[in-house]
Amino acid sequence: MTKNNQDLKKLNISYPIIVEGKYDKQRILEVCDATVIATDGFGIFKKSEKLALLRKLSEKTPLIILTDSDGAGKVIRSHISSAVPKDRLIQLYIPQIAGKERRKSEPSAEGTLGVEGMERELLRELLLPFEDGDAAKRIKENPLSKLDFYEDGLSGAENSASRRDEIAALLGLPKGMSSNALLAALKILLTYEEYLALVEREI
């Protein structure tokens, strides 16, 4: 079936989307503009700060959780669901389709495709009900950028990491966040004006 130009446009999803790995993240970003957070597989069990970040973001916005439909994905989903209030999670599931991702030499233990192996059209249809033009537009149009971080000493300086930790502490975010991770979180949590006021308070 031929898709028209409207169908092929990327979706604007205002809710952060939680996936397992970087290839899942890449696949999701092929079909939508959104903040996508990877758990690094089972790495989330060792990183309490990532769960703390998800809990903090959930105070501001619901989170979409889209892990693989195999046993590992269910364990990761359950772990997140036990840490974040259930009414702040949107549980989405991909179908169990037999197959192997192209980059892998062997199929998964259960022989099914993960998020990265899903057809773009399927992922788009799965996320379509959660397109929120106004909220997504607000986040997308927030001019906060890496340049702001550089000019405000949150990146590129010797004390940038400690400066980011100071900002994170004020917002109840975990310490040790990278500049990219903190930037994505602040674009959700704050308006640009609120960010400027926060940075001025800390200078």
| Cross-strand bridge partners of residue 33 | 12
Instruction: Grade residue 6 by pLDDT with cuts at 50, 70 and 90.
Output: very low
Q: What is the CATH number of the domain that holds 39?
A: 3.40.1360.10
Question: How many C-beta atoms surround the C-beta of residue 193 within 10 A?
Answer: 8
Q: Into how many domains does the chain fold? A: 2
Q: Averaged over 114-121, what is the pLDDT?
A: 92
Instruction: Grade residue 5 by pLDDT with cuts at 50, 70 and 90.
Output: very low
Its domain, for residue 157, covers 143-202
pLDDT of residue 133: 59
pLDDT tens per residue, range 43-69? 999 888 889 999 999 998 899 999 998
83 and 29 fall within a common domain: yes
Q: Which of 138, 155, 182 is the last residue of a domain?
A: 138
Full-model pTM = 0.75
118 and 161 fall within a common domain: no
| Cross-strand bridge partners of residue 37 | 18
| Cross-strand bridge partners of residue 89 | 63
Position with higher pLDDT, 2 vs 95:
95
Q: Which of 138, 155, 183 is the last residue of a domain?
A: 138
